[in-house]
Chain A
């Protein structure tokens, strides 16, 4: 059913720390791996070793340069996957009911057996979170690892999305953003987490944490590190002084 639920019991989602992400793409690789080897149809590649390789991914890392007005530019690595929006436009446009948002946890999923591969949901998503599988011809998207987070065959530590489990710098956090007392909600409040493209009115569940400000003030010890003399000694110094006089 493509009618969006009024409210969901929980709002499971990710909090991504743009300050900590080092842009290693480990989450991309682990996501591709998990979602190729498990329940859903494999996340396929086409012409993987040929001249024009193309493949479906549920998570991509862009790198941006941010240039403040009066400070040096900064590189920010920017992981992007489905934001599991409360007002998900990808769900309502689906003609077959393959796309849906779950009432119990707010996860947006695609039932691959009902998907006709029309691509309208990918058009409706402002973030580019959905990709057509080049082999299966059905729409693929982040499932928030729904086949891990409730999977009692896995050790408890592994019952989080694989991208979160993999991230070596701890830049990805998973939890219930509908509960103001959850760790992720507190983190968002503390660090000033924000929505992507709020003007699109999608009400994304996933939040992004801003890069922390770089050191603005010079360290108090800096004056002691000033060079003692700038005058050049030796032959070059003599040459410099001599030429200066000519």
Chain B
């Protein structure tokens, strides 16, 4: 799949934003007044900023409000509702905390739950796409939520929780890649089933339908990253998890914490890039590029 910058930024930033909001909702750290303002400012900027990035992906962003109508069947529509609802809940919680110094604890807990639900709904946009077997699995949702919790713990400055979530997410990501690699082959879809000609012999593309690239090959038959995947995966694991954990284990300093966040964000951006670039779509079977 084509790794569009807008969607990579959306899933990374809003995931971290909702993660931080979840921690703030649970009262980690227990902040009020100005420090609460800045924590919530960062969280809302990430979550809302991510959502704004997602609209850059649209051909007609001016019609984006129509995307709220089909929540009965569409995870993308549900994502819109979940985001707006969660931001609203956490907005009220934040307003009371920042303006009046009042902690509406149950609202915060509900908000935290809603944050994780929103990240889950975002993940289902991808996990519900059956044509991309690498995504179409429960592990996609687990990884989205795990990344959100890691980022949230790191940004909220909860060092022990951050170390725990980073280590667990890193290990989970390793296995998600390992098992994801064989999932396309496991579906049994081949050029033979795609054309129905497999019953007569071995099927190979002889001549493509067009000489230059088209929307389908650009969007869904993206194969550029594959040869560097081991290197990129290693770099991503080091930046997203190993380096931040090492920095957090050192005596606490704001500069080291900032560096840990920066490394983590860069690493997560690479993993998200790989999430798209390595995803194989069944259309590739018609183009002999599987």
B-binding residues in A (CB < 8 A): 1-3, 18, 28, 52-57, 60-69, 71, 73-76, 78, 80, 89, 91-98, 114-120, 122-128, 131-132, 134, 136-138, 194-201, 208, 210-211
- Give the contacting residue for A210; candidates B70, B125, B200, B216; CB below 8 A: B200
Knowing A3-B72, A52-B212 are in contact, say whether A89-B131 is a contact too (CB < 8 A). Answer: yes
B193 and A198 form a contact (CB under 8 A): yes
B195 and A93 form a contact (CB under 8 A): no
A118 and B189 form a contact (CB under 8 A): no
B209 and A94 form a contact (CB under 8 A): no
Knowing A115-B59, A116-B58, A128-B283 are in contact, say whether A64-B195 is a contact too (CB < 8 A). Answer: yes
Query: Is B215 engaged at the interface, CB distance under 8 Å to the other chain?
Result: yes
In the complex formed, the residue of B with least CB distance to A202 is B130
- Give the contacting residue for A200; candidates B74, B75, B130; CB below 8 A: B130
Query: Is B11 engaged at the interface, CB distance under 8 Å to the other chain?
Result: no
- Give the contacting residue for B220; candidates A74, A123, A198; CB below 8 A: A123
A-B pairs with beta carbons under 8 Å apart, 29 shown? A3-B73, A57-B214, A62-B195, A63-B205, A64-B197, A64-B203, A64-B206, A78-B197, A92-B73, A92-B74, A93-B73, A93-B74, A93-B76, A95-B66, A95-B80, A98-B66, A118-B67, A122-B219, A128-B286, A131-B214, A131-B215, A132-B59, A137-B60, A196-B194, A199-B188, A208-B195, A210-B200, A211-B197, A211-B200
In the complex formed, the residue of A with least CB distance to B71 is A95
- Give the contacting residue for B70; candidates A57, A78, A96; CB below 8 A: A96
- Give the contacting residue for A54; candidates B67, B197, B215; CB below 8 A: B215
B170-206 vs A: 1/0 string, CB under 8 Å? 0000000000000000011101011111011111111
- Give the contacting residue for A62; candidates B59, B66, B207; CB below 8 A: B207
Distance A197 CA – B282 CA, assembled complex (angstroms): 9
A18, A116, A137, A211 — most chain B CB neighbours (10 Å): A116
B201 and A69 form a contact (CB under 8 A): yes
Size of chain B's interface in residues, with CB distance under 8 A?
59
Q: A62-B208, A64-B197 are in contact. List 15 more A-B contacts (CB 8 A).
A: A2-B73, A54-B213, A63-B207, A66-B203, A98-B66, A115-B59, A116-B61, A116-B67, A118-B58, A122-B220, A125-B131, A126-B283, A128-B216, A198-B193, A201-B130
Query: Is B69 engaged at the interface, CB distance under 8 Å to the other chain?
Result: yes
Q: Which of B71-112 contact A (CB under 8 A)?
A: 72-77, 80
In the complex formed, the residue of B with least CB distance to A134 is B215
Question: What are the residues of chain B within 8 A of A65 when measuring CB–CB?
Answer: 203-206
A-binding residues in B (CB < 8 A): 1, 57-61, 63-64, 66-70, 72-77, 80, 125, 128-132, 187-189, 191, 193-197, 199-210, 212-216, 219-220, 281-283, 286-287
Knowing A64-B203, A96-B70, A197-B189 are in contact, say whether A120-B209 is a contact too (CB < 8 A). Answer: no
Question: What are the residues of chain A within 8 A of B132 when measuring CB–CB?
Answer: 123
A62, A98, A124, A127 — most chain B CB neighbours (10 Å): A62
**B285, chain A: closest CB distance, angstroms:** 8
Distance A234 CA – B272 CA, assembled complex (angstroms): 77
Question: What are the residues of chain B within 8 A of A61 when measuring CB–CB?
Answer: 209
A119 and B57 form a contact (CB under 8 A): yes
B76 and A54 form a contact (CB under 8 A): no
Distance A56 CA – B59 CA, assembled complex (angstroms): 15
Question: What are the residues of chain A within 8 A of B219 when measuring CB–CB?
Answer: 119, 122-123, 132
Question: What are the residues of chain B within 8 A of A208 when measuring CB–CB?
Answer: 195-196
Distance A61 CA – B286 CA, assembled complex (angstroms): 10
